[in-house]
């Protein structure tokens, strides 16, 4: 696998975690979501090392963390869009 593909896969793989943590944990914070993503990433890397199915790479943890942040930003953007009054007003005017 090429380096660019590996980086993209690592980022894309963790986007759902960043988007779902705020949904699953009602008292979420950015730091808690980030910590959850880093712990999940660390677990993946340790399992790869122990099972000899891959390498333990710190850059993968960094790329996975970027994916978590992108997922969290996506969640925050969608939540903002659906909770602003401007959005609701435009939906009512369409009818």
Q: In this predicted structure, what is the pLDDT of residue 25? A: 86
Provide the domain count of the chain: 1
Q: In this predicted structure, what is the pLDDT of residue 29? A: 87
Q: Which residues contact 43 (CB under 8 A, 6 or more apart)?
A: none
pLDDT tens digits, 44-71: 999 999 998 888 889 999 999 999 999 9
Residue 17 confidence (pLDDT) above 90: yes
Four-residue CA torsion sign, 17, 71, 42, 27? negative
Q: What pTM did the predictor assign?
A: 0.82
Q: Which domain holds residue 7?
A: 3-93
Average confidence score pLDDT of the chain: 87
């Amino acid at each position: 696998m090429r380096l660019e593909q590996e980086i993209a896969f690592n980022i894309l793989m963790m986007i759902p975690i960043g988007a779902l943590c705020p949904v699953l944990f009602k008292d979420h914070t950015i730091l808690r979501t980030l910590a959850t993503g880093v712990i999940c990433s660390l677990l993946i890397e340790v399992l790869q090392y122990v099972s000899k199915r891959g390498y333990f790479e710190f850059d993968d943890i960094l790329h996975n963390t970027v994916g978590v942040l992108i997922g969290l930003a996506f969640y925050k953007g969608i939540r903002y869009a659906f909770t602003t009054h401007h959005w609701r007003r435009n939906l009512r005017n369409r009818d």
